[in-house]
Amino acid sequence: MSAEAVSTREQRQEWKERHIRSNDKFVTDIPKIELHVHIEGTMTPELRWKLAQRNKIPLTVGSERVPLSTLAEIREAYQNIRGRIGATSADGKRNMTFFEAYYGGFDLLQTEEDYFDLAMGYFERVAEMNVRYCEPFFDPQGHTRRGIPIGMVLEGFKRAQIAAEHRLNVRSQWIMCMLRDMSPESAMDQYEAALPYKDMIVGLGLDSDEYERPPSLFDDLFKRAREDGFRLTSHCDFNQKDTHDHIRQVAERLGGTGAERIDHGMNVADQEDLMEVVKSKDMGMTICPCAYIRHASEEAVFPRIRKLFDTGIKIAIASDDPAYMEDNWVLHNLHMVREKCSFKNKDMVQLQRNAVSICWAGDELKKELLDDLNEFEMSFSSQ
Ligand code: HPA
Ligand code: ZN
């Protein structure tokens, strides 16, 4: 294999097993904050199976619509998801692209109970990883365009959110993402329809297919959202067409003054002046390594992460769409950077401090999260 080749699935699986076997207590036990996870991207094969049965929806894979009739077949289909954004493959007719898997999962969500189960499944899973606070994304248009009322989606999420806080000690606030491959008008309509639920939504984001869809198309919406008190972020996925331009728009102009965070934005590391803008504005970045290494070489990914970190840019590590990315949750993403960026204990703590700093929790909760981190660090150093 040449130095710059993308790893194989088998290799990545080997790394993951090695990380888990290493029983690295610092990584498993550190209190965690997750700031980049699409709740719809947490639909495990087990939940897909349960929802399909409950709602009597036949499952298929690929454009040939090959039927999936057992849980084992769903698991296998998840293993064969190709690439990410807009990816196709020679045998794509019988395999899922990332977006096919992701939006295919939306169709199974039909009742408030389904939304509750989706969110509760995520909270339960990450509680085991000691996630204390998270800001999950959701894509309202992906539900309402199928005729699902926004209230049904958010009532289900809200019940799970409250249960997670009480039963699991996982606190959360939601970020509403607009689909950038839909029109700005549709985004504005959706935004207005969600306003009655403003109390549970802390921020506005932008996701889906970035191809020829610059963030500036949504400027009016982001301005309005800022005036209404929402926090702002936008995806600028790794190595996308025009990504440096898109990053610049997000950093300098979106919503009038630029957004407070960039989701991914790894290509900031390519240009000194972009690094300077992000650093001087004290912007946060959410970085999801296991997502990138499925389509980029290790050499393209980890030195960039290390560079951003060493420059003092506030990066936080997260999972993106864990169910569709080889079952890599925030814990596995942290294990990955621990090894591949040679992060020491103090660096792992710094990543979590970064996350506290760039998250949108209130001051009291931020202090609590920092106190927990300090206590963890001290207890570890005295062992
Ligand atoms: N990129 C863009 N849009 C998305 C993603 C992603 O990884 N996941 C869910 N929506
Ligand atoms: Zn994402």
What pLDDT score was predicted for residue 287? Answer: 98
* Ligand 1 pocket, residue 207 CB under 6 Å: yes
Query: Which ligand number lies closest to the CA of residue 206?
Result: 1
Q: Does residue 373 or residue 85 have the better pLDDT?
A: 373
Token pair recorded at residue 296: 């980029």
Distance CA 252, CA 134 (A): 26
In this predicted structure, what is the pLDDT of residue 85? Answer: 57
Helix (H, G, I), strand (E, B) or coil at 224: helix
Separation of alpha carbons 206 and 187, rounded Å: 10
Q: Is 128 strand, coil or helix?
A: coil
In this structure, which ligand is nearest to the CA of 237?
Answer: 1
Residue 136 CB–ligand 1 contact under 6 Å: no
Q: Is the pLDDT at 155 greater than 90, yes or no?
A: yes
Cα 35 to averaged position of ligand 2 atoms, centre (Å) = 10
Sequence-distant (≥ 6) Cβ neighbours of residue 287 within 8 angstroms: 36, 264, 266, 305, 308, 315, 316, 317, 318
Outline where DSSP puts E strands in the chain: 32-34, 59-61, 66-68, 131-134, 137-138, 171-172, 174-179, 201-207, 231-236, 261-264, 284-287, 314-317
State mean pLDDT over 56-73: 92
**Cβ of residue 230 lying under 6 Å from some atom of ligand 1:** no
Instruction: State pLDDT tens for residues 15-64.
Output: 999 999 999 999 999 999 999 999 999 999 999 999 999 999 999 998 78
Asked whether residue 152 carries a pLDDT value surpassing 50, the answer given is: yes
Q: Which H helix or E strand runs over 288? A: none
Q: What is the pLDDT of residues 114-127, one digit of tens each?
A: 999 999 999 999 99
